Amino acid sequence: MTERNALAHAKVNLNLVVQSTGGDGYHPIRSLALSVDMADRLGMSISDEDLFECSAEELNHEDNLAWRALVAYRNRSLTHRPIALRLDKRLPIASGLGGGSADAAGALVLAKEYFSAEIDAELEIAADLGSDIVFCLQGGFAMLEGRGNDVKPIHPMPSDFALAVVTPPFSLSTGAVYRRWDELGEPVGPSIGGDDLPPSMRDYPPLRNDLYPAATSLEVGVAEWRDMLERAWSRPVFMTGSGPSFAGYFLDRDEANAAAAAAPAGHRASFATEPVGSGVVLL
């Protein structure tokens, strides 16, 4: 079989409501999640020996979530032939955009092309490896609850906005952000509502990210970048996931492109993106 390729789309949390730690040690959440068309690209092919290559040198090792997902799927199949997996990163690393989870979902979808495993193996593996992977497999627009792997699709997909996304020049550990949120006494994040939201989002309660205060406590630059972007764009912006990426709503891609181009200097990434109905697309 020749190489198969897939796009693994980023995830944006339009809101993220966090609750106290449960008996399992995890924080239950309630989050509106959206797939957007910024994506990493994966390629998979049969090989003489196992091989994993990643364009981001710091991720080029077998602990990578995409490679772990592939191996887990292969271990549940009847075929154990060697595979080459190539990962071309376009999504910024440790940015709150779900890049690692998207890559793992892409690897699971590609693995189905090469191995025969039991029905729903990819969903079970996704839940074992990371909560966001379940959503990234399905993609689209959904409410995430529990540990994030209780995915409730929402229809129709919003189509009345584009997003400008900026990743500041630092990264944040998801685990560290959640721990600081606990230490701070479980604060509520700032919200965006009313006319500051696109019409498709106005039927929801004001959208907020409860991890924002924890992120600013760990890295003062989070608040500084939010202030700079709100001044540059003349509108509220929101942090996605555990940060540090920020996004703002715009009428269309052209307007979002102009906003991304006007972002303050020094960022790790700046781009325009739009909602997309799937988490992974085979090419």
In degrees, to the nearest 5, what angle opens at C-alpha 86 toward C-alphas 80 and 89? 140
Tell me the β-bridge partners of 34: 12, 141
Whether 113 and 2 have beta carbons less than 8 Å apart is answered as no
Q: Judge residue 29's burial from the number of C-beta atoms within 10 Å of its C-beta, 0-12 exposed, 13-18 middle, 19 or more buried.
A: buried
Catalytic residue among 11, 40, 103, 210: 11
Q: Which two tokens stand for residue 63?
A: 């602990």
**Is 132 tagged catalytic?**
yes
Catalytic residue among 37, 103, 132, 210: 132
**Is 89 tagged catalytic?**
no
Q: Which two tokens stand for residue 279?
A: 């988490």
Length of the chain, in residues:
283
Task: Note the Cα 33 to chain centre separation in Å.
Answer: 9
Active site residues: 11, 132
